[in-house]
Structure 1
Amino acid sequence: MEPVLALTDTQISTWVAAFMLPLFRIGALLMTMPMIGTALVPKRVRLYLALAITVVVAPSLPAMPAVNALDLSGLLLIAQQILIGAGMGLSLQLFFQAFVIAGQIIGIQMGMGFASMVDPVNGVSVATIGQFLTMLVTLLFLAMNAHLVVFEILIESFTTLPVGQGISTADIWLLVMRLGWVLGAALVLVLPAIAALLVVNIAMGVMTRAAPQLNIFSIGFPLTLVLGMVILWITLGDILNQYQPLAVDALQLLRDLVKAR
Structure 2
Amino acid sequence: MDAFAAFFASPEVIQHVSAFVLGSVRILTFLSFAVFMAPQLTAAVKMPLLLAFYIPLHPFLLQQLQGLQLSFELMGDVLQLTLLIGKECLIGFVLGYVSSCIFYAVMSAGIIIDNQRGASQAQSPDPFGGAESSPLGTALLLAMVTLFFSSGAFMNFLAIFYSTYTLWPPAALLPGLLYSNLSIFAIENLDYLMLHALLLCAPFVLVALMCDVALGLINRFAPQLNVFILSMPIKSGACAFLILFYLGPFLSHLQTLFLELSERFEFLQHLLGGA
**1:243 matched residue in structure 2:** 254
Following TM superposition, by how much is the alpha carbon of 1:137 offset from its aligned partner in structure 2, in angstroms? 0.9
C-alpha separation in 1, matches of 2:22 and 2:123: 41
2:133 counterpart SS class? strand
> Is 1:191 the equivalent of 2:198?
no
Cα pair 2:8 2:14 within 8 Å, conserved: no
Following TM superposition, by how much is the alpha carbon of 1:100 offset from its aligned partner in structure 2, in angstroms? 1.4
Aligned residues: 256
Per-residue CA deviations over 1:12-31 (Å, capped at 9, x if unaligned) read 55433333211212222222
Following TM superposition, by how much is the alpha carbon of 1:8 offset from its aligned partner in structure 2, in angstroms? 8.8
**Percentage of identical aligned residues:** 25
**1:68 matched residue in structure 2:** 70
Per-residue CA deviations over 1:75-127 (Å, capped at 9, x if unaligned) read 11111112111211111221211011101111111121122223233334321
Residue 122 of structure 2 is aligned with which of 115, 120, 145? 115
Greater per-residue helix proportion: 2
Unaligned runs of 5+ in 1: none
Per-residue CA deviations over 1:220-245 (Å, capped at 9, x if unaligned) read 33222211221233222210233222
Structure-2 change in CA distance of 1:173 and 1:17 (3 Å):
farther
Residue 244 of structure 2 is aligned with which of 224, 233, 257? 233
2:36 counterpart SS class? coil
C-alpha separation in 2, matches of 1:34 and 1:233: 26
1:111 counterpart SS class? coil
Unaligned runs of 5+ in 2: 1-5, 73-77
**1:16 matched residue in structure 2:** 17
**1:28 matched residue in structure 2:** 29
- The correspondence of residues 1-261 of structure 1 with structure 2, limited to 5 A, is 11=12, 13-39=14-40, 41-61=41-61, 62-64=63-65, 65-68=67-70, 70=72, 71-163=78-170, 164=172, 165-166=174-175, 167-169=177-179, 170-259=181-270
C-alpha separation in 1, matches of 2:101 and 2:140: 14
2:64 counterpart SS class? coil
Say which is worse superposed, 156-165 or 182-191, in terms of deviation: 156-165
Q: TM-score, with normalisation over the residues of structure 2? A: 0.82
Structure-2 change in CA distance of 1:155 and 1:173 (3 Å):
same
Q: TM-score, with normalisation over the residues of structure 1? A: 0.86
